[in-house]
């Protein structure tokens, strides 16, 4: 197998989110040399061991391996001399004649020609499914499509019966070849492009405004949210040990060394006490914002294992503890029920805050971050700024995530500017990217 085949395969892996370093690529080449190419399954095992570094990557690898090293191609690559297809060539041109190829029906010769044309047309650069026709054309050209076209036109203009027959034969050959070329390009797209397309789609989705998601988007969103949660979790789960650093703790050092007459043999350092994250989410679930709440809570729930201390409350009129609803119903149906039961009354931030004051005030302490999600539109009711201020004073931080664009803050019944002085951070969230940034900020405060 040529070095190029391996590097193409590695490129395909990278396109599908498997990270392969240069070192690993070199290892793979070494390992391949060692085990040989004769045994396909053995090669698959070997490359899987060297290139894929997690169970998920193994699945991707095995799938791609099967696509990439199709059996026929594998046989050809391994024993190129065995059944080297003999391409009969026309006297006047050197390129394989499409018609002869198709009529001859020599499978090996056809796939050989396809491979060659594919290489010439650089099909491996394909990224999006919309590029398929373009590459099909490019391949046809590489296989001498232009000449065929000329001949075809010539025959069609001659108007004799023999020419008619010839022309229709040519057209059939061209159509068949085109179908084969399309098949080839689609296969290459599967290997090299689909990963990239997926990434591209996800990227678009992550930036899309959350209330403009279509039903199809929603399905993909679920997976995407999990991905984001995993990324953040890995980022913050890497604990750092900083035992022998920082400032000298004089008091503890003296006490520990009293036995040595105060000669400091064992030195103690001051350690920064790190708070465990504690999150209190207050979510406005009235019609206009409920979609955002869904994703914020989805994201927070994905962290449950990492942050055991998450309390979530939903309100529109009255505030209610919704942890139990999620616990018993699961996320999706829990969310639907909450929106149905709690989200129906008219929004009253003041009432929600006083419910919090009466029922759950103890939940807030100096370790907690309050995340408020809502547009701050309280139907001109009393915003109870006094309660909000007290809550902010009790908590470590208050983050307000507002789905409304900044330009609309303060218009109509929006009380956002009045709450603003008491928030540590007040930010606009429109897309999943914004949400990720906000949660990232919350977690960063605890590191």
Residues near another protein (CB under 8 A): 19, 21, 23-24, 27, 30-31, 33-35, 41-42, 45-46, 48-50, 52-55, 58, 234, 237-241
Residue closer to another protein, measured from CB, 51 or 310:
51
3-state secondary structure of 321: strand
Q: Give the nearest distance from C-beta 281 to another protein in angstroms.
A: 26
Residue 175 Cα to chain centre, angstroms = 39
What is the 3-class SS of 57-74, one letter each residue? HHHHHHHHHHHHCCHHHH
What is the per-residue DSSP string for 418-433? HHGGG-SEEEE--SHH
Q: Give the nearest distance from C-beta 440 to another protein in angstroms.
A: 17
Residue closer to another protein, measured from CB, 28 or 353:
28
Per-residue DSSP letter, 269 = B
Residue closer to another protein, measured from CB, 61 or 184:
61
Residue closer to another protein, measured from CB, 55 or 91:
55
Q: Give the nearest distance from C-beta 71 to another protein in angstroms.
A: 18
Smallest CA-to-CA distance from 348 within 379, 385, 389 is with: 379
Q: Give the nearest distance from C-beta 294 to another protein in angstroms.
A: 26
Residue closer to another protein, measured from CB, 215 or 240:
240
* Non-local CB neighbours of 430 within 8 Å, separated by 6+ positions: 209, 210, 403, 405
Q: Give the nearest distance from C-beta 70 to another protein in angstroms.
A: 21
Pairing of strands 425-428, 397-402: parallel
Q: Give the nearest distance from C-beta 346 to another protein in angstroms.
A: 42
Smallest CA-to-CA distance from 61 within 23, 19, 33, 3 is with: 19
Residue closer to another protein, measured from CB, 18 or 143:
18
Beta bridge partners, 279, equal: 310, 369
Residue 365 Cα to chain centre, angstroms = 36
Q: Give the nearest distance from C-beta 241 to another protein in angstroms.
A: 5
Q: Give the nearest distance from C-beta 125 to another protein in angstroms.
A: 27
Residue closer to another protein, measured from CB, 178 or 233:
233
Q: How far apart are CA 17 and CA 12, in angstroms?
A: 9
Pairing of strands 278-284, 310-315: parallel
Residue closer to another protein, measured from CB, 53 or 201:
53
17: left (phi over 0), alpha (psi -120 to 50) or beta: left
Per DSSP, helices labelled H in 189-241 are: 194-207, 215-237
Backbone phi and psi for residue 83, each to the nearest 5 degrees, phi listed first? -125, 55
Q: Give the nearest distance from C-beta 62 to another protein in angstroms.
A: 11
Structure tokens at 297: 């809570």
Residue closer to another protein, measured from CB, 51 or 391:
51
């Amino acid at each position: 197998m040529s070095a190029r085949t391996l590097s193409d395969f590695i490129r395909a892996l990278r396109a599908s989110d498997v990270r392969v370093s240069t070192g690993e690529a070199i290892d793979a080449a070494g390992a391949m040399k060692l085990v040989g190419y004769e045994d396909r399954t053995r090669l698959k095992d070997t490359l899987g061991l060297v290139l894929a570094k997690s169970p998920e990557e193994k699945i991707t690898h095995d799938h791609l391996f099967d696509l990439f090293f199709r059996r026929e191609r594998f046989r050809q690559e391994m024993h190129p001399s065995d059944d080297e297809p003999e391409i009969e060539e026309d006297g006047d041109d050197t390129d394989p004649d499409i018609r002869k190829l198709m009529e001859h029906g020599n499978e090996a010769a056809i796939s050989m020609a396809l491979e060659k044309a594919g290489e010439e047309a650089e099909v491996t650069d394909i990224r999006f499914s919309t590029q398929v026709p373009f590459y099909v054309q490019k391949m046809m050209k590489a296989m001498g499509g232009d000449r065929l076209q000329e001949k075809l036109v010539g025959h069609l203009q001659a108007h004799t019966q023999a020419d008619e027959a010839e022309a229709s034969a040519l057209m059939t050959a061209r159509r068949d070849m085109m179908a084969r070329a399309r098949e080839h390009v689609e296969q290459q797209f599967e290997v090299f492009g689909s990963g990239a397309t997926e990434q591209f789609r996800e990227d678009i989705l992550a930036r899309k405004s959350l209330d403009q998601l279509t039903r199809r988007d929603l399905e993909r969103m679920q997976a995407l949210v999990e991905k984001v949660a995993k990324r953040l979790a890995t980022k913050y789960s890497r604990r750092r040990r900083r035992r022998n650093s920082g400032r000298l703790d004089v008091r503890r050092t003296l006490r520990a060394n009293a036995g040595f007459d105060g000669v400091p043999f064992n030195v103690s350092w001051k350690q920064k006490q790190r708070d465990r994250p504690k999150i209190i989410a207050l979510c406005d679930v009235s019609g206009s914002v409920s979609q955002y709440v869904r994703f914020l809570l989805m994201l927070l729930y994905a962290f449950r294992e990492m942050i055991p201390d998450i309390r979530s409350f939903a309100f529109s009129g009255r505030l209610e503890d919704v942890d139990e609803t999620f616990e018993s119903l699961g996320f999706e149906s829990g969310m639907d029920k909450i929106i149905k039961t709690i989200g129906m009354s008219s929004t009253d931030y003041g009432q929600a805050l006083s419910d919090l004051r009466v029922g759950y005030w103890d939940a807030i302490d100096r370790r907690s971050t309050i995340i408020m999600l809502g547009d701050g539109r309280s139907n001109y009711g009393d915003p109870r700024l006094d309660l909000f201020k007290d809550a902010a004073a009790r908590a470590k931080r208050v983050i307000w995530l507002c789905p409304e664009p900044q330009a609309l803050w303060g218009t109509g019944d929006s009380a956002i500017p009045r709450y603003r002085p008491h928030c540590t951070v007040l930010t606009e969230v429109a897309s999943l990217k914004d949400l990720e940034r906000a949660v990232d900020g919350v977690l960063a405060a605890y590191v």
